[in-house]
Amino acid sequence: MPGLFITLEGPEGAGKSTQLARLAARLAGRGVPHVVTREPGGTPLGMRVREVLLDPELSIEPLPELLLYSASRAQLVREVIRPALERGKVVVCDRYADSSAAYQGFGRGLDGAFLEALTREVTGGLTPDLTVLLDLDPALGLSRVAARGQPDRLERADLGFHARVRKGFLTLAARDPERFLVLDGARDADALAEDIWRAVAERLG
Ligand code: TYD
Q: Domain residues for 72?
A: 4-204
Q: Which residue has the least CA distance to atom 13 on ligand 1?
A: 154
**Tally of residues, the chain:** 205
- In terms of Cα–Cα distance, which of 95, 91, 97 is closest to 16? 95
From the CB of 106, is ligand 1 less than 6 Å away? no
Instruction: Indicate the top mutation candidate among 19, 99, 119, 156 to test ligand 1's pocket, ranked by most ligand atoms within 8 A of CB.
Output: 99
Rounded alpha-carbon distances, angstroms, from residue 169 to 157, 162, 163: 17, 11, 10
3-state helix, strand, coil in the chain (%, to 5): 55, 15, 30
Residue 154: what pLDDT?
A: 92
Residue 1: what pLDDT?
A: 82
From the CB of 98, is ligand 1 less than 6 Å away? no
CA of 201 to the centre of ligand 1 (A): 27
Output the domain CATH number for residue 67: 3.40.50.300
From the CB of 43, is ligand 1 less than 6 Å away? no
Please count the structural domains in the chain.
Answer: 1
Strands 4-9 and 180-184: unpaired
| Residue 37 main-chain phi, psi, to 5 deg | -145, 180
pLDDT string in tens for the chain (205-residue length): 899 999 999 999 999 999 999 999 999 999 999 999 999 999 999 999 999 999 999 999 999 999 999 999 999 999 999 999 999 999 999 999 999 999 999 999 999 999 999 999 999 999 999 999 999 999 999 999 999 999 999 999 999 999 999 999 999 999 999 999 999 999 999 999 999 999 999 999 8
Strand order of the β-sheet with 180-184 is 34-38, 90-94, 4-9, 130-135, 180-184
CA of 62 to the centre of ligand 1 (A): 14
From the CB of 123, is ligand 1 less than 6 Å away? no
Q: Which residue has the least CA distance to atom 17 on ligand 1?
A: 99
Residue 205: what pLDDT?
A: 85
For the chain, report the end-to-end CA distance as a whole number of angstroms. Answer: 15
